[in-house]
Amino acid sequence: MADKGDDDDQYRIKEGDCVVLKRGDIYKAVQIQPKKKIIFEKQWIFLDNAVGHLYSTTFEIVAGGTLKPQEVKDTESPPDLKVAGTDNRNIVDDGKSQKLTRDDIETLKEQGLKGQEIIQQLIENSSTFNNKTGYAQDKYIKKKKKKYENTVAILKPTCRILAMMYHGREPGKICHLRYDTLAQMLTLANIHAGSKVLVFETCAGLVLGAIMERMGGYGSVIQMYPGGGPVRAGVESFGFPAHFHDMLHDFPICHVNALLAGTLDTTAKDPTADEKQFEMAADEEQNQPETDQQEGSPEEQSMDTKTGDDAGQDQGEMEKEKRKETQEKKLKLEEKRRRLAAAAALLESRNADGLVIASRFHPCPVLLGLLKFLSPSRPFVVYSQCKEPLIECYTKLKEQGGTVNLRLTDTWLRHYQVLPNRTHPLLLMSGGGGYVLSGTTVAIDRFKPAGSPQAEEPAAKRQKLKDTEG
């Protein structure tokens, strides 16, 4: 009712869109660009034909890697399963049950046969297939389907899909943050529209993107970044509308001490500071195009270690253009300073509504430093792949006070196969999705020195422990 035919436009794939390819449980984030070859699951494909189709359409990959929308439900009807055995007492593994050789199968593939047809051939040439039980036949077909089916679905990116994709493809890039753990963080930090959230992450921008999605363009996000510039490849994959980026600010973590001490000068009137900033801007320029091209490539993390070297090399050739460039750089520098000042202004009021940390750095100093920017009665979450650094955070927070409701947790995720008479937990499950320390800030007691909350229950707990275990 609410959505009529003409509303379809917003659900159609357009050129330049960031999309996610899906086959089975495999995802890959790509951008739709004309005549661009993309490798997905060992296959070259061109996405040009997808433009104009609706999101979530499944395409068949035909010759030359072009896409053809799949006809409705042709793969859903499995071949007849009428002949089936009851058990496997007479099935012998002699390695000769499949009469087709590897070469035969390759030939079939080269002939451009559809996956469905190849599977049919395999079944017909399997001497044991008819002796297998119905369930075993089902399983056989499913397995072959996974291997030979040539389809790809094109989805609109969401936090769910991207978090699952990163966890499946490149867990190292996101500090092994499992998607259910990310879900806990977003909820425990009470991320919602209209708040002011601080983020420190080295998860390729996935955590930042997830937060931006939950804020829907309302409020502000301040990304605290280490090194030369913020990493946001993951954010790009979300394909947010342009106005979402208006809410996004960034602030280099190396200026936090200065900001806290009130010595950060964002006007940069004196020439030496100007020069320093200038150099930084130059470095960044070297790095910036790199990040753009490298979306999703493994080199991102090395970005912040690259500095002036490249700049030095290029200098000779660029002598002529230098003047022009200087002008441009000055403009960029001005823009950068403006952004820094804007982010500093947001931080200085020290009234942020939430803090999310998920990085490869030691979380303790980051947490203790950034908590100072939060209003009282606001939630914070810290992620770490290991438990030990969070134990240290917990201990330090208990010592210094200013927080309540501290909890160190992790979640355990189990998937189930649900099929008639074959329901059980999946055989393979994820070993660990990392740990989360969460809590709430409170007003710091001015009448007692730090370390005073010893009268609270943690002390009692320690006492008890000594009694029982000491």
Partner 1 sequence: MSFVEYSDLIQDGDVAIVYLNHISAMPVKVKHGAQTQTRYGVIRHSTDLIGQRYGSKVTCSKGGWVYVLHPTPELWTVSLPHRTQILYTTDIATITMMLELKPGSVVCESGTGSGSLSHAILRTIAPTGHLHTVEFHQQRAEKVAEEFKEHRVDHLVTVRNQDVCKDGFGVVGVADAVFLDIPSPWEAVGHAKAALKKHGGRVCSFSPCIEQVQRTCEVLADQGFQEISTLEVLLRVHDVRTISLPLPDFGPDPAARAEPGIVDKAPLPAAPNHSSVTMKTTTPPREMPGHTGYLTFATKPRT
Region 374-393 residues binding partner 1, contact defined as CB under 8 A: 375-379, 387, 391-392
Span from 104-112, 121-129, 342-350, 405-413 in contact with partner 1 (CB under 8 A)? 405-413
Nearer to partner 1, 39 or 465 (CB): 465
CB of 153 to partner 1, least distance (A): 9
CB of 81 to partner 1, least distance (A): 17
Alpha-carbon span 17 to 12, nearest angstrom: 10
- Does 316 engage in binding with partner 1 (CB under 8 A)? no
Sheet holding 58-61, edge to edge: 26-31, 18-23, 151-155, 58-61, 67-69
Torsion, Cα of 328, 329, 333, 335 (10° steps): 30
Nearer to partner 1, 244 or 251 (CB): 244
If we measure between CA atoms, which residue out of 443, 374, 438, 441 comes closest to residue 187?
438
Q: Report 426-445 residues binding partner 1 (CB under 8 A).
A: 435, 440-443, 445
**Of 412, 427, 428, 449, the one binding partner 1 by CB under 8 A:** 412
How many residues interact with partner 1 (rule CB under 8 A)? 72
- Does 292 engage in binding with partner 1 (CB under 8 A)? no
Residue 31 exposed, middle or buried by CB count within 10 Å (0-12, 13-18, 19+):
middle
**Of 79, 308, 456, 463, the one binding partner 1 by CB under 8 A:** 456
If we measure between CA atoms, which residue out of 440, 422, 452 comes closest to residue 138?
422
- Does 138 engage in binding with partner 1 (CB under 8 A)? no
Residue 425 exposed, middle or buried by CB count within 10 Å (0-12, 13-18, 19+):
exposed
Span from 28-36, 78-86, 105-113, 407-415 in contact with partner 1 (CB under 8 A)? 407-415
- Does 246 engage in binding with partner 1 (CB under 8 A)? no
Measured from the Cβ of residue 379, the count of other Cβ atoms closer than 10 Å reads 19
Alpha-carbon span 22 to 44, nearest angstrom: 14
**Of 190, 307, 385, 400, the one binding partner 1 by CB under 8 A:** 190
If we measure between CA atoms, which residue out of 46, 74, 71 comes closest to residue 61?
46
CB of 166 to partner 1, least distance (A): 13
Nearer to partner 1, 301 or 440 (CB): 440
Please, how many CA atoms are within 13 Å of residue 106, restricted to the half-sphere of its CB? 3
Q: What Rg value do the Cα atoms of the chain yield, rounded?
A: 28
CB of 214 to partner 1, least distance (A): 6
- Does 451 engage in binding with partner 1 (CB under 8 A)? no
CA distances from residue 166 to 21, 153, 174, 307 in whole angstroms, order as listed:
13, 18, 7, 28
- Does 160 engage in binding with partner 1 (CB under 8 A)? yes
Alpha-carbon span 354 to 339, nearest angstrom: 21
If we measure between CA atoms, which residue out of 137, 148, 149, 147 comes closest to residue 422?
137
- Does 358 engage in binding with partner 1 (CB under 8 A)? no
Q: Report 9-68 residues binding partner 1 (CB under 8 A).
A: 11, 54, 56
**Of 79, 216, 298, 451, the one binding partner 1 by CB under 8 A:** 216
Please, how many CA atoms are within 13 Å of residue 468, restricted to the half-sphere of its CB? 5
CB of 256 to partner 1, least distance (A): 22
CB of 250 to partner 1, least distance (A): 22
Angle CA(427)–CA(160)–CA(153) in degrees, nearest 5? 85
Q: Which residues pair with 155 in a beta bridge?
A: 20
Nearer to partner 1, 105 or 183 (CB): 183
Span from 95-103, 229-237, 252-260, 404-412 in contact with partner 1 (CB under 8 A)? 404-412
Question: How is residue 219 written in tokens?
Answer: 């409020």
CB of 53 to partner 1, least distance (A): 11
Q: Report 164-183 residues binding partner 1 (CB under 8 A).
A: 179-180, 182-183
Residues 6+ apart with CB under 8 A from 1: none
- Does 350 engage in binding with partner 1 (CB under 8 A)? no
CB of 342 to partner 1, least distance (A): 21
CB of 219 to partner 1, least distance (A): 10
